[in-house]
Amino acid sequence: MVLTPAQRILRALVAWAVVMLFAFPIYYWITVSIKLGRDIFAIPPKIFSFETSAKSYEEVFGISLGFEKGIAVLPGGGDFYMAPRLMDSIIIAVFSTAVAVLVATLAAYALSRMRFRGQHHFVFWILSTRMMPPVAVAIPMFFIYKDFGLLDTYTGIVLVHALMNMPLAVLLLKSFFDDIPKEIDEAALIDGASRFLIFRKLVLPMALGGIAATAVLCFIFSWTEFLFALTLTQTSLKTVPVVSSTFVTSTGTAWGNMAALGTAAMLPAFVFILLVQKNLVRGLTLGSVKQ
């Protein structure tokens, strides 16, 4: 469509307005994290002009940033000290991503390069795992984990998150492997190389970009997951999304602290998502829509 200069300017204006409307709640949430209590509850709401304070972050991370004089924050103390929960989230996301990517890379290579009976059904089985409501896994898993002593452990939640990411990882990696010409494998096979050698020395290095993108997406989905973490962890570990919903105290909801934790959880994910921009749509559609 060829637009006149006036139309182009109008389009740009509307586009900026719409996108800023979508960005606004994020901006507003960040302002809540650096506001004082009285400004959070101000009517009319304060959007651009308010006193800033790092108090919420200091309480959440248990550190003194030194902006406020006379407020001593005890490390390791306080109701809102959430640094260990961030650590839990990172550990769970990293290990579940490692498991998912490792297992999925092997499977995706086979699905991309080999043909076997029932392959179509097998792919469909993987896909239907993506369709299961998490609650239908979380309920039986709770009782199974209770019997095996895996409730409230890193191992337990890591494995469930790995399962949750498996369809995404397998199908996405398969689409990346499919992009690498099969002739490479075939030529090497004729030269007497084994499948494993071809996989490790030829295909894997060429698929590194795709594997990295897959890993980033798995990390993000584990990082943001709520239902499994809520059901399968209790006291010894908790992820950020789960504790975010528990900041309701007897004196009301601690919005500032909650926003500080939420912002701290969002910012690393923002950086990650910008890293995989190129493969994002492919990831969101499990490898079926390419950019």
Return the number of the residue (87 or 114) whose C-beta is nearest another protein: 114
CB 166 within 8 A of CB 218: no
Q: Which of 160, 180, 213, 218 binds another protein (CB under 8 A)?
A: 160
Q: Which of 234, 236, 245, 249 binds another protein (CB under 8 A)?
A: 245
Interaction between residue 90 and another protein (CB under 8 A): no
Interaction between residue 187 and another protein (CB under 8 A): no
Angle of the 208-224 helix axis to the 83-113 helix axis, nearest 10: 140
Binding track over 47-76 against another protein, x by CB under 8 A: x-----------------------------
Interaction between residue 291 and another protein (CB under 8 A): yes
User: Rounded to an integer, what distance in angstroms lies between the CA atom of residue 245 and that of residue 192?
Assistant: 58
CB under 8 Å, gap of 24 or more: what pairs does 76-81 form? 79/249, 79/254, 80/56, 80/247, 80/254, 80/257, 80/261
Total residues contacting another protein by CB under 8 A comes to: 107
Interaction between residue 274 and another protein (CB under 8 A): yes
Nearest to 89 by CA among 225, 213, 200: 225
Min separation Cβ 140 and another protein, Å? 4
Return the number of the residue (56 or 231) whose C-beta is nearest another protein: 231
Residues 6+ apart with CB under 8 A from 36: 50, 51, 53, 55, 256
Min separation Cβ 70 and another protein, Å? 28
Return the number of the residue (6 or 72) whose C-beta is nearest another protein: 6
Min separation Cβ 35 and another protein, Å? 11
The residues in 19-48 that bind another protein, with binding defined as CB under 8 A, are 19, 22-23, 25-26, 28-29, 32, 40-45, 47
DSSP for residue 45: P
CB 53 within 8 A of CB 34: yes
Return the number of the residue (206 or 266) whose C-beta is nearest another protein: 266
Residues 6+ apart with CB under 8 A from 56: 33, 34, 80, 256, 257, 259, 260
Whole-number Cα distances in Å, 51 to 43, 61, 97, 255: 15, 21, 40, 16
Return the number of the residue (123 or 206) whose C-beta is nearest another protein: 123
Return the number of the residue (64 or 154) whose C-beta is nearest another protein: 154
Q: Which of 181, 196, 236, 249 binds another protein (CB under 8 A)?
A: 196
Nearest to 130 by CA among 20, 259, 221: 221
Interaction between residue 94 and another protein (CB under 8 A): no
The residues in 199-218 that bind another protein, with binding defined as CB under 8 A, are 200
Min separation Cβ 103 and another protein, Å? 4
The residues in 122-151 that bind another protein, with binding defined as CB under 8 A, are 122-123, 125-144
User: Rounded to an integer, what distance in angstroms lies between the CA atom of residue 122 and that of residue 22?
Assistant: 39
| Torsion (CA) 3, 4, 5, 10 in degrees, nearest 10 | -60
